Chain A
């Protein structure tokens, strides 16, 4: 009997929860704020859905009822992607070690 592809996706999902569990426990507590901002940025990969939705209109009509929601989602996700990664970068740049020559 053939296995439904859904089961494969479910397997990926469950296994990644475990990967996430171990990876996140190894994150140092002092970096918990950057952790939140970077998880926020990567969860905006939902933009791939937004792009598909936005391009769902036919050549004649760019803006259909479904593509408009796609375009709106692109704006929201883009704010998050750029904002999330850049603010993480800005924060991480501030974490410095003690200067040795002090």
Chain B
């Protein structure tokens, strides 16, 4: 196959990837979009096989390894519960990062295979691209591993900070640039290995200070990094499909990070510098004992909801932890039978990754046209009878609007307190991730339901 022809086919597969993302603009077109993506991938892989044209023993092994990886992937895809989606995505990012490192290493050891020169005499531009691809890939890998461990609960979600952390990170980053410079002048393989090792270390160090609830930003950011790593390798291999994909994924992840930061009213840098939550803990918890709290049981909640004409449900991470989405849907079905209007309100940073709550609700067969984003639904709270907060906390805290001293001041929140009554399902009065007390607990019209989210929801359904 001629080089020009394969380049055109790579371009086509790049365009198909753009269409795959384009499809996600609405749920109706999204399934078709995914097929475009699969088609693009098939084209890219086939073209590569044909253009290498080396159908020898090695080719058989390629197919075998492809099948091994593919079956592992398929197995995971079918077995993974929807609540574990953030961990899965973090894990997958680490694989892309590591694959980028491996490809870069291989290209460094055997540059002839990629037409990049000979060992010890690699083209300058390729060497720089290779080093960037490998470094970003390595950062993505170790960063994603830490994110995965934190999400999985193997590692504590609490931020790990130490003195001089940021200076150390900055120094290591500068070190990478210096090493790359010397790599270009000496072509020494030792330097190449050191660059990769230092990059692994950086990835590890930049994620450990970031706390559990900042994970939506971290995952989006690593998503972006995995794209830039792919683009770096794409430049090395002079492959359009990889360059297009890398740029797409890179900008996609960057936009998601931006949306998540905006949802928390925090600058990207303050998230990355980390340590949020650990220091604020003491300030909020001082005088909570004095304030009275109204608490109720499933019976009271059922009574309130039965007499309502409209209910808005506010799900949060707690719903995912308790796996309460199906029980919630059943409760809503019962409410609907009693002609009560029900809608769902989702805060941009609810859950541990962008769109996390939407997927869980979709899994429980909640139609997506009953689920609304913050801006779409916020004005409706004033007209609703009951707000049912399940597993959310900070995203409903009115303090964000009233108290300029509060660490979450300015963060967009759901106006839950405007409802006639608020039902708040929570296991205890403990503050949320931001470490601050939620004023909503002590409002006249709030009824606290202290229980496991799933159990409480089931009990309410029984009482309806």
Contact = CB atoms under 8 A, between A and B. Distances in A.
A77 to B, nearest CB: 5
A40 to B, nearest CB: 5
B245 A43 contact: yes
B70 interface: yes
A87 B77 contact: yes
Contacts of B365: 94, 96
Nearest to A18: B251
Interface in B211-250: 219-220, 223, 226-227, 229-231, 233-250
B113 A66 contact: yes
A73 B27 contact: no
29 contacts: A5-B238, A16-B18, A16-B248, A28-B26, A29-B348, A32-B354, A33-B358, A35-B354, A36-B355, A43-B96, A43-B249, A46-B103, A46-B233, A49-B106, A51-B62, A54-B61, A54-B62, A55-B58, A57-B58, A69-B102, A76-B95, A79-B70, A82-B70, A82-B73, A83-B92, A85-B37, A91-B359, A95-B30, A96-B367
Contacts of B223: 36, 39-40
A99 B71 CA distance: 35
A79 B243 contact: no
Residue among B10, B74, B348 with most chain A CB within 10 A? B74
B193 interface: no
B52 A55 contact: yes
B44 A45 contact: yes
B230 A66 contact: no
Nearest to A81: B41
Contacts of A73: 98-99, 102-103, 106
Contacts of A33: 85, 89, 353-356, 358-359
Interface residues of A, number: 84
Contacts of B358: 29-33
B295 interface: no
Contact of A42 (B40, B68, B113): B40
A86 B74 contact: yes
Interface string B64-98: 01111111111011101010010011001101101
A38 to B, nearest CB: 6
Contacts of A62: 56-58, 61
A82 to B, nearest CB: 3
B20 interface: yes
Given A46-B100, A52-B114, A77-B96, A38 B242 contact: no
B24 A27 contact: yes
Given A12-B243, A43-B249, A46-B230, 11 more contacts: A16-B248, A20-B249, A33-B85, A42-B245, A52-B237, A53-B102, A64-B110, A69-B109, A84-B77, A94-B363, A99-B367
Contacts of A77: 69, 95-96, 99
B38 interface: yes
Given A9-B240, A94-B363, A42 B110 contact: no
Contact of A29 (B37, B95, B355): B355
A101 B393 CA distance: 36
Interface stretch (B202-210, B286-294, B368-376): B368-376
Contacts of B259: 29, 32
A90 B78 contact: yes
Nearest to A8: B240
B74 A51 contact: no
Contacts of B194: none
Contacts of A23: 18, 21-22, 248
Given A17-B251, A19-B248, A46-B100, A28 B27 contact: yes
Interface of B: 10, 13-14, 17-18, 20-22, 24-27, 30-31, 33-34, 37-38, 40-41, 44-45, 47-49, 52, 54, 56-59, 61-62, 65-74, 76-78, 80, 82, 85, 88-89, 92-93, 95-96, 98-100, 102-103, 105-107, 109-110, 112-114, 125, 219-220, 223, 226-227, 229-231, 233-253, 255-256, 259, 346, 348, 353-356, 358-359, 362-363, 365, 367-371, 373
Nearest to A33: B355
A20 B24 contact: no
Contact of B106 (A13, A53, A76): A53
Contacts of B20: 38, 42
Contacts of B59: 55
A74 B247 contact: no
A9 B354 CA distance: 31
A53 B314 CA distance: 50
Contact of B45 (A25, A43, A51): A51
Given A34-B359, A51-B48, A96-B368, A83 B233 contact: no
A46 B417 CA distance: 49
Contacts of A88: 34, 37
B45 A47 contact: yes
A92 B45 CA distance: 24
A82 B77 contact: yes
Contacts of A24: 21, 251-252, 255-256
A76 B72 CA distance: 10
Contacts of A35: 21, 24, 252, 256, 354-355
